[in-house]
């Protein structure tokens, strides 16, 4: 049995495309008012219009979560406009791959800033509101979900720093899961395998072609597949906590 998200408010980071956009649409269809956080305002506004046209409620929050002040201000604006915060989906991510010896340090910095520091900034800003929501909502529970990766469990050549960042958020999530359990804030991680998103288009020439060749033989996950996993987590009755989901493309061997 699932619980309705009617009357709840959800925040999705990296909501302008891919997994984030699909997750926002899915949570909105389930009854949540959804705050769309990201840097690409035009895309966020288009998604908000689509959600509203389908009968949902959406708020655009244009911000860079690698800046702690912007992350905090976005969460404060959300609560001021929508009144509460029941669900957070830390989805924003950066992925650069390739051999460690010739990788530009700027790529490392970007992955650490988005995949680790961005999760920390949003989580810290959101936690007081999640705790409050768990105390006073009819559901008596709140949810914090972070999108990790199979790379956080199974490191592979060419993914050293990306795997480092995803391993970090896995460990962070497990620690705060134990801290927040008495306060009825559930903490979960969804770890997808290969997903058909635009992340691969950000890779360097040569690296991009090698990655596309590697995955050419499999049918990748669609963003909706990951969104469905998130929705499953956050709609369980409060006695149930799904803390981790590993979701691979069926033909993926790694």
158 backbone φψ class: left, alpha, beta (φ>0; ψ -120 to 50) = left
What end-to-end distance do the CA atoms of the chain give, in Å? 33
User: In whole angstroms, how large is the CA radius of gyration of the chain?
Assistant: 17
Q: Tell me the percentage of the chain whose pLDDT exceeds 90.
A: 81
Note the pLDDT of residue 1. 41
Residue 54 CB coordination number (10 Å): 11
Note the pLDDT of residue 97. 87
At 98, the pLDDT band (50, 70, 90 cuts) reads confident
Note the pLDDT of residue 205. 58
Q: Residues with Cβ < 8 Å from 68, sequence gap 6 or more?
A: 121, 124, 125
Q: Where are the alpha helices (DSSP H) in 54-188?
A: 68-82, 105-111, 119-136, 160-180
The predicted-structure confidence for 149-208, as pLDDT tens digits, reads as follows 999 999 988 899 999 999 999 999 999 999 999 999 999 999 999 998 655 555 555 555
Decide which of 98 and 51 is more confident.
51
3-class DSSP string for 62-88? ECCCCCHHHHHHHHHHHHHHHCCCCEE
Domain boundaries, the chain: 9-246
Average pLDDT over residues 61-65: 98
Q: In whole numbers, what is the pLDDT of the chain averaged over residues?
A: 93
Average pLDDT over residues 28-42: 97
Task: Check pLDDT > 60 for residue 106.
Answer: yes
Decide: residue 230, CB within 10 A, 0-12 exposed, 13-18 middle, 19+ buried: buried
Average pLDDT over residues 21-31: 98
The catalytically annotated residue of 8, 162, 190, 226 is: 162
Note the pLDDT of residue 210. 53
Note the pLDDT of residue 239. 95
Report d(CA 10, CA 234) in Å as an integer. Answer: 10
Q: Is 162 a catalytic residue?
A: yes
The predicted-structure confidence for 201-239, as pLDDT tens digits, reads as follows 555 555 555 555 566 678 999 999 999 999 999 999 999
Structure tokens, 179: 């801290």
CATH code of the domain made up of 9-246? 3.40.50.720
Helix (H) or strand (E) segment spanning residue 27: helix 18-29
Note the pLDDT of residue 82. 98
């Amino acid at each position: 049995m699932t619980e309705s998200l009617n009357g709840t408010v959800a925040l999705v980071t990296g909501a302008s495309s891919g997994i984030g956009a699909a997750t926002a649409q899915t949570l909105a269809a389930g009854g949540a008012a959804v705050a769309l956080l990201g840097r690409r305002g035009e895309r966020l506004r288009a998604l908000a219009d689509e959600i509203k046209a389908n009968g949902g409620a959406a708020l655009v929050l244009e911000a860079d979560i690698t800046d702690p002040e912007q992350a905090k201000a976005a969460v404060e604006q959300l609560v001021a406009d929508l009144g509460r915060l029941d669900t957070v989906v830390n989805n924003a991510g950066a992925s650069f791959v390739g051999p460690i010896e010739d990788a530009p340090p700027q790529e490392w910095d970007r992955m650490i800033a988005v995949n680790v520091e961005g999760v920390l900034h949003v989580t810290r800003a959101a936690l007081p509101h999640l705790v409050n929501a768990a105390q006073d909502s009819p559901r008596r529970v709140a949810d914090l979900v972070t999108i990790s990766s199979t790379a956080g469990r199974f490191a592979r050549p060419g993914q050293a720093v990306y795997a480092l960042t995803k391993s970090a958020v896995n460990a962070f999530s497990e620690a705060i899961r134990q801290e927040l359990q008495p306060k009825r804030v559930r903490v979960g991680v969804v770890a997808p395998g290969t997903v058909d998103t635009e992340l691969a288009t950000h890779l360097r020439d040569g690296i991009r072609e090698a990655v596309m060749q590697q995955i050419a033989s499999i049918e990748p996950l669609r963003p909706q597949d990951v969104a469905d996993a998130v929705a499953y987590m956050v709609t369980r009755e409060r006695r149930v906590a799904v803390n981790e989901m590993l979701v691979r493309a069926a033909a993926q061997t790694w």
